[in-house]
Amino acid sequence: MSAHLSNGRVNLNILREAARKELREFLDKCAGSKAIVWDEYLTGPFGLIAQYSLLKEHEVEKMFTLKGGRLPAADVKNIIFFVRPRLELMDIIAENVISEDKMHSPRDFHILFVPRRSMLCEQRLKEQGVLGSFINIDEYILDLIPYDGDLLSMESEGAFRECYLESDQTSLYHTAKGLMTLQALYGTIPQIFGKGECARHVANMMLRMKREFAGSQTQILPVFDSLLLLDRNIDLLTPLATQLTYEGLIDEVYGITNGYAKLPPEKFAAQKKQGEVGKDLPTEPKKMQLNSAEELYAEIRDKNFNAIGAALSKKAKIISAAFEERHNAKTVGEIKQFVSQLPHMQAARSSLANHTSIAELIKDITSEKNSLYSFSFHVQLTTLHSSSLPSVLISSEAFFDNLTVEQEFMTGVDTDKVNTYIEDSIAQKDPLIKILRLVCMQSVCNNGLKQKILDYYKREILQTYGYEHMLTLNNLEKTGLLKPQTSTRNNYPTIRKTLKLWMEDANEQNPNDISYVYSGYAPLSIRLTQVLARPGWRSIEEVLKMLPGPHFEERQQLPAGLHKKRQQGENRTTLVFFLGGVTYAEVAALRFLSQMEDGGTEYIIATTKLINGTSWIKSLMDRPEAP
């Protein structure tokens, strides 16, 4: 299950095992049979750490979702609440406990706060008169969760909002604690670089914690050579843009939550054997796990979507040829060898059928005939007992028009006037989040909008979508996403030219630059990472001054004898931590840099949350739309 975590440059399974060990220890504190009552948000992150089988080994017999009223019936000795430290959840727990007490059930109650205990929450339980009912009140420090072989996330859904809107630095403290845990397992990180106010805070907290625990340092040879802390607000543009990698588009269209995507079932029903055609089509979404444990997904996830058709076609031919080998197997030994390879080949065939279906679903939304963003599949899966793909392109003007406007803004075209596409989209009452993404992108690329234009957009949005969204517009302004122009100078064109953020004729099939992930736009955050590795930030001092917050470098003293001796040609390992969220396209760009032959650096990525433009804007809305 977790083999993919240990295949990368850094064995992230060590972190997962440490988290599992702590969980087992807590469960063993509560002797006897157990039922866990889950704060629903935590079930996804916990699924990446431990499956039900581990809980079952420690006498967990039932699991429920935290809801008001009475708990479902369960013949167990212990009830354990796994919750985030939220006051509204304490009221629900109190309701559960009081209803159990009325039934006079002889049960022990325990509460496990994730990731930290909270005095306020305990006070609320006291006010509700149930604090004394708990035998154990503990905390489970789940800061950094291994998502994949090179990816860690805190899954802190409100981190950007808390830091930039509410001036709440709790998530920064959790980040610093998570990085200290990482250093306890993988050794002290000798160099820390950073850009932004939040990055500075995290680095300061880390250095202070290191001084406080000076005597208890672990004698581990450092795995990481450097840490780069990046504030999300130094690059507000990237998450607003539509991601154009395979994984990025799955996230944009369907959303990826804790490594799983829920997909429409229709295309997958077509994979059924012909004898089953008469059966009812499934109505439940198909839930698919997406990580590098699946060979094909690891191969195609970071490709530009335009390159997916050719990649799947090539894979289909390889699998088809492998199945044809059975005709050449003459001797008993050859037949035996073919049979031993069969499970792997069948898994590869099933995987290909699934990803062909996903690619078709996305193609239906993204393809435009003769556009800069179209492709046609030529994958024949008939030999794989699956329907062959239609070569007809289903056009989607909305996607193409949206992308065209985004690319115009990124290249600085007409960013200082009211955009007719945005006007028309508001008039047609397109989804509000789509409008907000585009208006914010125009504002970011123009260093704010003229007051007249900003007022016009606000008026149109409020009159069309309702005045309750005034709070949301205010939030976007506070975070710098949507703001009035305060100076005539727009720094974005200078930043774009100096850092080469726009590359004409980006090669999507065989990329030679990170700009392929957005078909021309190179994410600012990743360019900064690339320049830091070579030739260094001194070469772009002027640009760094134009971006918000300080930039800095700190060195951490290593214990004697733990200095890493690098072999000739050995790559450096850098941990890049995004404070406020990172997109899958940015992750793909960092993986591309890791794989460059002359790159010299391999990257491990960490973040407070994996985001896309929609989930990011939603986190800043005070009255989010119904899903």
Length of the chain: 627
Q: Does the pLDDT of residue 624 top 80, yes or no?
A: no
pLDDT band at 374 (very low <50, low <70, confident <90, very high): very low
pLDDT in tens, 496-506: 999 999 999 88
> Which residues, 6+ apart, have CB-to-CB distance to 36 below 8 Å?
55, 60, 62, 63, 64, 80, 81, 82
The answer to whether 608 and 156 are in contact (CB under 8 A) is yes
Pairing of strands 601-607, 572-579: parallel
What are 6's two structure tokens?
């240990």
- pLDDT, average across residues 187-207: 96
Round to whole Å and give the CA distance between 325 and 222: 47
Which pLDDT tens digit goes with each residue over 3-27? 788 878 899 999 999 999 999 999 9
The predicted structure's pLDDT at residue 571:
87
Q: Would the pLDDT of 124 be above 70? A: yes
Task: Say what angle helices 470-478 and 432-445 make with each other, to 10 degrees.
Answer: 30
125 Cβ neighbours under 8 A, 6+ residues apart: 90, 93, 94, 131, 134
Contacts 24+ apart (CB under 8 A), 381-390: 381/316, 381/352, 381/353, 381/356, 383/316, 383/320, 383/323, 384/316, 384/319, 384/320, 384/323, 384/349, 384/352, 384/353, 385/273, 385/349, 386/270, 386/271, 386/353, 386/356, 387/270, 387/271, 389/356, 389/360
| 200 token code pair | 């500075």
Q: What is the pLDDT of residues 89-121, one digit of tens each?
A: 999 999 999 988 777 667 899 999 998 899 999
Local structure of 49: helix, strand or coil:
coil
Please check whether residue 80 is in contact with residue 63, taking contact to mean a CB–CB distance below 8 angstroms: no
Cα torsion for 383, 388, 391, 392, to the nearest 10°?
Answer: 170
Q: Which two tokens stand for residue 58?
A: 């420690």
In the sheet that holds 191-195, the strands lie side by side as 145-148, 151-153, 601-607, 572-579, 226-231, 191-195, 551-555
Identify which of 99, 84, 92 has the alpha carbon closest to the alpha carbon of residue 125.
92
- Bigger pLDDT: 193 or 283? 193
Mean pLDDT lowest for which of 305-319, 321-335, 587-601?
321-335
Which amino acid would we find at residue 456?
Answer: Y
- How many whole angstroms separate alpha carbon 433 and alpha carbon 290? 26
The residue with greater pLDDT, 334 or 261, is: 261
Checking if the pLDDT of 378 tops 50, the result is no
Would the pLDDT of 387 be above 70? no
**CB-CB contact of 115 with 139 (8 Å):** yes
pLDDT at position 282: 66
Distance (Å, whole) CA 496 – CA 457: 26
Predicted confidence (pLDDT) at residue 205 exceeds the cutoff of 90: yes
With contact defined as beta carbons under 8 Å apart, do 233 and 199 qualify? no
pTM: 0.90
What is the per-residue pLDDT across 312-324, written as a single tens digit (0 to 9) for each? 999 999 888 877 7
User: What is the Cα–Cα distance from 165 to 272, expressed in whole angstroms?
Assistant: 49
Percent pLDDT > 90 in the chain is 69
CA distance linking residue 440 with residue 479, whole number of Å: 11
- Name the DSSP class of 414: S
Q: Say how far residue 5 (Cα) sits from the centre of its chain.
A: 16
Lowest average pLDDT, out of 81-90, 100-109, 217-226, goes to 100-109
Residues 334-353, mean pLDDT to the nearest whole number: 81
pLDDT at 274: 45
The pLDDT value recorded for residue 157 is 86
Hunting for tokens 């809305």 — which residue is that? Answer: 621
The Cα 63–Cα 197 span in angstroms is 41
- Tell me which of 54-58, 185-189, 210-214, 501-505 is least confident: 210-214
Q: Which residues contact 320 (CB under 8 A, 6 or more apart)?
A: 383, 384
pLDDT over threshold 80, residue 340: no
pLDDT reported for residue 391 = 27
Q: Contact 585/508 with Cβ under 8 angstroms?
A: no
Q: For residue 507, give Cα distances in angstroms to 504, 521, 594.
A: 9, 12, 18
What is residue 509's DSSP assignment? S
Average pLDDT taken over every residue of the chain = 88
Burial of 613 (0-12, 13-18, 19+ CB in 10 A): buried
**3-state secondary structure (DSSP) of residue 161:** helix
Residue 482, pLDDT score: 96
- The Cα–Cα gap between 521 and 624 comes to 29
What distance lies between CA 229 and its chain's CA centroid? 17
Residue 514 CA: distances (Å) to CA of 292, 502, 523 = 20, 10, 8
pLDDT at 544: 96
Look at residue 275 and tell me whether its pLDDT is greater than 60.
no
